[in-house]
A and B are shown apart, each in its own frame.
Chain A
C-alpha cells in the first residue's frame, strides 16, 4: 500500500438508502493528525457516512482515496488501519471487560500474551480496572460505552471512526476520552467523529450533513 502518511480523501461521496438519497457531494480530506466532526440532525447520514468510511457500506457515488490510489486497491491494508466504534457497544453480557478487550486484540492478529498486556493498558486508560473481571451484564451503560471505546486502544490503528462516542459518558470519562483522542492525534492518528452534540476536538474540520441533503425529486402536494 501507499505511504501511511498519505491523506485520506473523500470525493463527492453519496449515500442512498432504498429510494432516498441521504446525502450527495460530500468531499473532505483527512491528513495525518487531522480530525473530522460530522454534525447533523437525526437521519442526516452521520452513521452512514462513517460506515462508508469503514468500508461496511458501499457509497452510491464518489470515491475514497488513500493519497492518490483508491482504497479498493488495498482494502485489507486500509481496513487494518482503521477502528470503528458504532453506536452498538459490542459487549457480550457473559464475558468480562478484560476478556472482551483481549479478544478484540486477538481479532487484530496479536498474540495472546501481547493481547493481554494491551487489554490491561486499555482498561487503565479508561478507568475500568475496578470492574475488569465482572461479567459485562453488571456494567452500567456508561461503563459499557467506555469498554467499547477501550477497544480502540487494544490494537493501534491510524484512523478512529467514532459514532456518538460520548453518549452515556459522565463528565470525567468524557474528558479522559478527549485526552485519549489528543494523544492519538499527536501520534499521527486521525479521527472522524459523528455527533449531534458539540464535542471538544481542537482544529477539527466540521461537516454539517444537513447541507448535503438533496431536494426531493417530486414535490409533495
Chain B
C-alpha cells in the first residue's frame, strides 16, 4: 500500500516536470519530423522507393528520437541528489525505475507514436500500412524506454555521457527495430503483420520484466 502512493507520486512528479519543461518533448518530436523529412532528400523523392523503405525510415527516426531523450531520464536526479532520496524511500528502487520509465514513455514514446501516422503520410505509405506503423510504435516504444533506462543508468557519471549512452543502447534497440519495421513490411506485402506485432509485444513485456532490475542495480552502483 505504501508503495502505491509513492509510485503514483513519482510518476506524477516526472510527468509534471516533463510538461513544465515542455520544450523537451517538443524538441524530440521536432527531431523525429526533421529526420523523416531528410530521407527523401537523400534517397530521392520517388514514391515507389519511399513506399518500400518508408516504415523503416519512420522506425529508425523514432528510435533515434527516443535515444535523444534518454539522457534526462536519471541525470537530473543524479546531479541534484534526488536519487539518494529515491534509493532510501519506501518505494523499492526497481519500482521507482518503473514509475520513471512510465512517465518517460508518456512524455516521449506515446507522442512519437501519435504523430507517426502523419509522417507515414509524408513517405506515401498505404493507409493500412500506416495503421500497422502506428500500432507497432505504440507496442514497441515501451521497450525503447525500458531498455534505454538500463543504458541511461549505466552511463550515469560517465564523461561524454551522450556518446556512451548511444553506443550502449543502439545495439539493444535492434530487436524492436527488426520486428517494428518488419511488421509494416509484412503488412505491405500482404503476409500479415500479426506475428511481428505479437513478438514486438513480447519484447516490451520481456523488457518490463527484466529492465527495472538491471537499471536499479546500475543506479545503486552509481550511488556508491
Contacts and interface: CB of A to CB of B under 8 A. Distances in A.
Interface in A81-109: 82-84, 86-92, 94-95, 99, 102-104, 106-109
A111 B6 CA distance: 9
A55 B84 CA distance: 10
A106 B5 contact: yes
Contacts of A112: 5, 9
A95 B88 CA distance: 21
B80 A109 contact: no
Contact of A90 (B10, B16, B82): B82
Given A94-B17, A99-B16, A115 B9 contact: yes
Contact of A108 (B79, B82, B90, B224): B90
Contacts of B9: 102-103, 106-107, 112, 115
Contacts of A151: 85
B224 A89 contact: no
Given A92-B76, A94-B21, A95-B13, A82 B88 contact: yes
Given A56-B223, A57-B224, A95-B13, A108 B80 contact: no
Interface in B52-111: 76, 79-82, 84-91
B20 A84 contact: no
B16 A107 contact: no
B85 A106 contact: no
Nearest to B86: A107
Contacts, number: 85
Which bracket fits the contact residues of A? 20 to 34
A109 B6 contact: yes
A79 interface: yes
B153 to A, nearest CB: 15
Interface in A44-79: 54-58, 79
B100 to A, nearest CB: 12
A80 interface: yes
Interface residues of B, number: 29
Q: From B9, B17, B80, B90, name the one whose CB has the most chain A CB atoms within 10 angstroms.
A: B9
Given A54-B84, A111-B5, A95 B17 contact: yes
Contact of B8 (A54, A84, A106): A106
B6 A92 contact: no
Contact of B80 (A55, A56, A92): A92
Contacts of B85: 84, 90, 104, 107, 151
B1 interface: yes
Contacts of B224: 56-58
Interface in B177-202: none
A139 interface: no
A86 B84 contact: yes
A10 interface: no
Interface of B: 1-3, 5-6, 8-10, 12-13, 16-17, 20-21, 76, 79-82, 84-91, 223-224
12 contacts: A56-B88, A84-B84, A91-B80, A95-B17, A102-B9, A103-B9, A107-B10, A107-B86, A107-B90, A108-B6, A109-B3, A109-B5
CB-based closest 4 A-B pairs: A106-B9, A88-B81, A109-B2, A109-B90
